[in-house]
Amino acid sequence: MRSLPKLRHAYLLVVAFAALVPILHAADFDEAKLDLIRPRMQRFVDDHQIAGAVTVVGTSKGIVRLETVGNLRLDPAEPMPKDAIFRIASMTKPITAAGIMILADEGKLKVTDAVEKYLPEFRGQMMIAERGDDRLLLKKPARPITLHDLLTHTSGLAGYPQALNLYQKRDRTLAEGTLAVSQRPLEFEPGSKWSYCNSGIDTLGRIIEVVSGKDYENFLAQRIFIPLRMKDTTFRPSKEQLPRLAGLYGIKDGKLAPAANAIIGPPANMRHPIPAGGLYSTGADMARFYRMMLNGGALDGERILTEDSVKAMTRVQTGDLKCGFTPGMSHGLGFAVVREPQGITAMLSPGSFGHGGAYGTQSWADPKRDVFYVLLIQRTGLPNSDASPMRGEFQRLAAEACK
C-alpha cells in the first residue's frame, strides 16, 4: 500500500523546478526591530536554554525574515543551517485536520458525521459514569462522538492503553491503534468539555485512510506536501535528510544534555506515523503551509482547501468552553484559536490561529495583520512549551516590528 520511494522521487521532480520561498523586503516591517530577534534568541543559546533555533517571520506573500542561531547539534558543535529539520510534534495536528477538510471539500465526509459511520468499531461506545476504587460504572453517552469532536478535542475519547506503549514502540498500524482506543469508555459526554486528546487526532488519520482509500502518509504527501513544495516535511526522514536533523536536548545539572525522544520514537521500521504529532519539517516548509492558510487555502496556483474550510478551521468552534494550555484560548478545527489575547498571546490579534509542539516548536498566524511566526527549537522539559520564554520573546519582537 505504501509507495514512499516513489513519492520521494516525485518530490525531487517537483522541487527541481521550484524556486525557494521568496524573501521579502516588506515595507510593512521595521527592519531595525526585526534585527533585534537574532541577538535575543542568541541569549537563550548563551544561557544554555536551547542549542539553537530557526525563526521565521512572514506574510501571505512570502518570508520577511528567516534566521538561525546556535547549533544544529552539540559536541561537536555544528552551526544551525537554515534548512535544519525539526521534530514539530503536535504542530502536526492542524495538518492532519487539513487532510480531513480536503475530504470534506470533496463531499466524501462531513465534520458533523459520527465517527462510527467510518469506523464501525466505535459503535456502542460507553461512557464512565462513576469511578470506584476497584470498579467503573458505565452508561451510554447522549450521542456518539463526531469528527467535529475529534477536531476540537471535545470527544471524551480515552488515551491509548498504557500496555500498548504505542508512541515509543511504533509497532502498530493506525488501524490497530484506533481499534484499541475505540474499546475504551469515554471520559465524559461528547462536546461537554475540552480535553487535549492525541488518540482523537490519530483517529482522524485513520478516517483519512478509510475514506480516501490511501495510506495516511501518502495522502498528506500527495494532497498537501507535494503541491505546496514542502520538500522536507515527512514522517520518515531519509538518509539524505537525517544529517540536517536538529539534536534534542534537555537540562541536566544546569547545562544542555542530549535527551531521549520519549514521545515520538525513531522512524525506522515504524508502522504508526502519529497523525497527532509525528511530522518532521523545516522553517521554510512551515512558512508555505501558513502562507497557504493566510491566502484562503491556496498558494502559487495550487488550491489545497476551499476558503470556507479555512474559515471553519480557524474560527472558534468550542463556544465558551475553557480550552488550551494558556489563558484566553479556544479551539477551531485542528487549530488553537486566540479568543482573548493575554500573556503569551498578548501580541496576537483575536482570531489568530496556530499550534505548538512538545519540544517548544510554535507556529502562529495573525490574519488581521497578515503575518505569521514560526519558532523551531528542540527542548525537552519546558514547564509549558506554549508559554515558553523563547516563544514569548520571539513573537513579541516580531510583532513589534510589524507596522
**Omega before 76 cis (within 30°)?**
yes
Q: Judge whether 89 and 167 are in contact, CB under 8 Å.
A: no
User: Looking at the domain assignment, is residue 178 inside a domain?
Assistant: no
**Helix (H/G/I), strand (E/B), else coil: 123:** coil
Neighbouring residues of 158: CB distance < 8 A, sequence distance ≥ 6: 181, 184, 185, 186, 187, 199
Q: Which ranges constitute the DSSP H helices of 86-245?
A: 92-105, 147-152, 166-169, 174-182, 198-212, 216-220
Tell me the C-alpha to C-alpha distance, in Å, between residue 194 and each of 10, 79, 221. 40, 41, 30
Whether 74 maps to a domain, the answer reads: yes
pLDDT for the residue 268:
66
Is 222 part of a structural domain of the chain? no
Angle, helices 307-314 vs 283-294, to 10°: value is: 110
Q: Is 264 part of any domain?
A: yes
Query: In angstroms, what is the C-alpha Rg of the chain?
Result: 21
CA 295, CA 289: separation in Å to the nearest integer?
A: 10
Q: Where are the beta strands (DSSP E) in 259-342?
A: 279-281, 298-299, 302-303, 329-331, 336-338
pLDDT at 24: 54
**Structural domain includes residue 7:** no
**Residue 289 falls within a domain, yes or no?**
yes
Can you say how many angstroms the Cα of residue 195 is from the centroid of all Cα atoms in its chain?
17
Residue pair 350/340 in contact (Cβ under 8 Å)? The answer is yes
Which H helix or E strand runs over 126?
A: none
The model's pLDDT over 141-198, given as tens digits with 9 standing for 90+, comes to 999 999 999 999 999 999 988 777 777 777 889 999 999 999 999 999 999 999 999 9
How many folded domains does the chain comprise?
Answer: 1
> Which among 15, 40, 4, 21 is positioned nearest to 396, based on CA atoms?
40
CATH code, 365:
3.40.710.10
Give me the tens of pLDDT residue by residue for the chain, a chain 403 residues long: 444 444 444 444 344 334 444 555 455 899 999 999 999 999 999 999 999 999 999 999 999 999 999 999 999 999 999 999 999 999 999 999 999 999 999 999 999 999 999 999 999 999 999 988 888 899 999 999 999 999 999 999 999 887 777 777 778 899 999 999 999 999 999 999 999 999 999 999 999 999 999 999 999 999 999 999 999 999 999 999 999 999 999 999 889 999 986 555 556 677 889 999 999 999 999 999 999 999 999 999 999 999 999 999 999 999 999 999 999 999 999 999 999 999 999 999 999 999 999 999 999 999 999 999 999 999 999 999 999 999 999 999 999 999 7
- List of residues 6+ apart from 338 with CB closer than 8 A: 328, 329, 330, 345, 348, 349, 350, 351, 352, 353
Residue 54: domain span: 27-88+229-401
- The whole-angstrom separation of Cα 372 and Cα 106 is 28
Q: What backbone torsions phi and psi does residue 82 show, to the nearest 5 degrees? A: -70, -25
**CA-wise closest residue to 256 among 376, 81, 77:** 77
51: helix, strand or coil:
coil
Q: CA torsion sign, 192 to 195 to 201 to 206?
A: negative
Closest CA to 381 of 287, 283, 196, 254: 254
401 within 8 A of 29, measured Cβ to Cβ: yes
Q: Is residue 195 part of a domain?
A: no
Does some domain include residue 136?
no
Angle at 104 between CA 197 and CA 369, to 5 degrees: 75
pLDDT in tens, 346-384: 999 999 999 999 999 999 999 999 999 999 999 999 999
